[in-house]
Amino acid sequence: MKTPAATLILLLVLLPGLARSEQSVSFGTLEVHYVLIASTFLEPEVAARYDIVRARDRGLVNVTVLSGPGTPRTAKLHGVMTNLLGQRIQLSFEELRDGSAIYYIASFRYTDAELLRFDIDVTTPDEGGGTLHIEQQLYWD
């Protein structure tokens, strides 16, 4: 049987067809993967387990930091989401672990068909990092 963390991770990895494909960016030796989804794609039990609000106006950003050949890394993430009105919303990332896998999740609010811009600083203690610049439009289901 899968753990709740594994279920959340599986959902976030398998949902690219419903949201947008998982994408990645390299910063030196680091590979940073990210995906944005609507929170309603999560099963209610999984969302409840991690205190994630499921609502049509809530989204999630999932970031994973890898070093070398797929080795998970701990990192510090600081991010801001900007909407079309220019409102800047600070993102609060939570670290989730499942075995050796490490995931960083932040939730945010959005309106239907809104184009959102994310600037997420990713840093590790010894390999540096960089800033993710993501622009994506999300829709209510």
Tell me the pLDDT tens digit for each residue of 26-70: 999 999 999 999 999 999 998 998 889 999 999 999 999 999 778
pLDDT value for 34: 96
Residue 15 pLDDT level (bands cut at 50, 70, 90): very low
pLDDT value for 22: 63
pLDDT value for 6: 53
pLDDT value for 17: 40
Beta strands in the chain (DSSP E): 23-27, 30-38, 58-67, 71-72, 76-82, 88-91, 94-98, 101-109, 114-124, 128-138
Q: What average pLDDT does the segment 113-138 reach?
A: 96
Give the domain ranges of the chain: 4-76+92-113
Q: What percent of the chain has pLDDT over 70?
A: 84
pLDDT value for 12: 52
Q: What average pLDDT does the segment 81-95 reach?
A: 96
CATH class as words, domain 4-76+92-113 = mainly beta
pLDDT value for 69: 75
Question: And the tokens for 23?
Answer: 């994408």
Q: Specify the residue for token string 């995906």.
A: 35
For the full predicted model, state whether its pTM sits above 0.85.
no
